[in-house]
Amino acid sequence: MAVTIEDIAKEAGVSISTVSRVMNGTKPVSEELRDRVYEVIKKNKFKPNTLARGLVTKKTNMIGVIVSDISNVVFGAMTKGINSVCESKGYTIMICESGGELERELKLLELMEDKQIDGVLFAGIDVNRVLVDSILKRNYPTVLVTQEASIGDGIVDTVVHNNTKAMSDAVQFLLDNGHRRIAYLGGPKHDFSSGKKRLQGYKETLLKAGIEPLDSYIEQVEFSFRAGYEGMKKIYEENSILPTAVVAGSDVIAVAAIQFLRNVHIDVPNDISIMGFDDSDFSTYFQPELSTVRISYYHEGEMAAQELIRWIEGETTEVKTHYVPHKIIRRSTIKAFNQ
């Protein structure tokens, strides 16, 4: 049978609470007592059960991370940033994939509570009223990361990049390079931050420049190569006058669009310029090198983890939205258009 904390206490001749104090350093004990307890722990090769210890300390040093798609490179970079902070602060992360499905997300939030985790970093698709209500009633703090609540600001603490402004800056960059016929090949309609808010930035910037957005120039697809390829194909097939530039919702979508255009003998950037979004690692290895909007998802993960730990350790109670900066990166897929 496994050795328990009760066994350690009995052999050391102390109370269970004293063993707990020694292991967790919650209250000072004499050097003699500490050495005696540690000698018994070492002798029995005792590894305290995290959940059992949490019943005493009310803390498990576990942080849950809920993402929609583990295979997405964005979440990979973000999770690395989260783990770098958590590891340095003595926390372990538990990653769960929701598929962006509401019922699954609700079950995972409940599971995290059952596991007595100290806090959750939540990267959803549409953080709606049902999800927000579930988050707020939990016995742990939650910080949204890469995604804002669709019901408004100031409800759940959030770390995100400004999707509307980032897409607006991308479109303005194309306008500054002489493009007027700019298509939008963005993320899915049901994605609040990466879908709806980026589309908002695209439309508002064109209207400000006196350009009416064309429905036939707008396609919203999933964040996958296949979806990006099919979206570019639809824009190509349904417009007799093609755009001179396309702004994509991700680098993967942008690369897929370039591949389709190659297949129909349209050159990038000489015939059509392409702008990506994310600045994924592969964007500089692809030929031609991809112009894009740089988002440091690693830094976003770091910031989110730091903010959550501040909540867990009682260093803050202020709910706000923290924005991570973005930057336009010019590479080889953009060419100035001279009308």
Q: What is the pLDDT of residues 53-78, one digit of tens each?
A: 554 446 789 999 999 998 888 999 99
Domain ranges in the chain?
Answer: 5-57, 62-160+297-324, 163-295
What average pLDDT does range 23-39 have in this prediction?
75
Average the pLDDT over 84-103 and give the result. Answer: 94
The pTM is what? 0.82
Average of pLDDT values for 259-282?
A: 96
What confidence tens digit (pLDDT) does each residue in 283-332 have? 999 999 999 999 999 999 999 999 999 999 999 888 999 999 999 999 99
- What is the pLDDT averaged over residues 74-103? 94
Average pLDDT over residues 86-103: 93
Q: What is the CATH number of domain 62-160+297-324?
A: 3.40.50.2300
Q: What residues contact residue 243 under an 8 Å CB cut-off, 6+ apart? A: 179, 181, 182, 183, 217, 235, 272
| Best CA proximity match to 102, nearest among 190, 189, 221 | 190
* pLDDT value of residue 221: 97
For residue 15, what pLDDT band results from cuts at 50, 70 and 90? confident
What's the rounded Cα separation, in Å, for the pair 23 and 38?
A: 8
Sequence-ordered alpha helix ranges (H) in 137-288: 163-176, 198-208, 225-237, 251-263
Percent of the chain with pLDDT over 90: 74
What is the average pLDDT value for the chain, to the nearest integer? 91
Per-residue confidence (pLDDT) for residue 106, from 0 to 100: 95
Q: Counting beta carbons within 10 angstroms of the beta carbon of residue 61, is it exposed (0 to 12), middle (13 to 18) or buried (19 or more)? A: middle
Please give the pLDDT value at position 4.
79
Evaluate if residue 51 carries a pLDDT over 60. Answer: no
Domains 5-57 and 62-160+297-324 share a fold: no
Specify the pLDDT at position 55.
47
Q: Is the pLDDT of residue 50 over 70?
A: no
pLDDT over 80 at 23, yes or no: no
Is the pLDDT at 339 greater than 80, yes or no?
Answer: no
The counts of H helices and E strands in the chain are: 12, 12
- Tell me the C-alpha distance between 171 and 245, whole Å: 9
Residue percentage of the chain with pLDDT more than 70? 94
Look up tokens 């036939």; give the residue. Answer: 216
Q: What is the DSSP letter of 276?
A: -
Dihedrals phi, psi of 143, to nearest 5 degrees: -120, 130
25 burial level (CB within 10 Å; 0-12, 13-18, 19+): exposed
CATH class of this structure's domain 163-295: alpha beta
Instruction: Report pLDDT for 26.
Output: 54
Least confidently predicted of 40-44, 113-117, 209-213 = 40-44
Q: Which two tokens stand for residue 223?
A: 């964040």
Report the candidate in 70, 125, 121 with the shortest Cα–Cα distance to residue 103.
125
CB atoms closer than 10 angstroms to residue 189: 12
190 closest CA partner among 297, 68, 323: 68
Range 5-57: architecture per CATH: Orthogonal Bundle (1.10)
120-157: string of b/e by CB count within 10 Å (b at 16+)?
A: bbbbbbbbeeebbebbeeeebbbbbbbbbbbbeeebbb
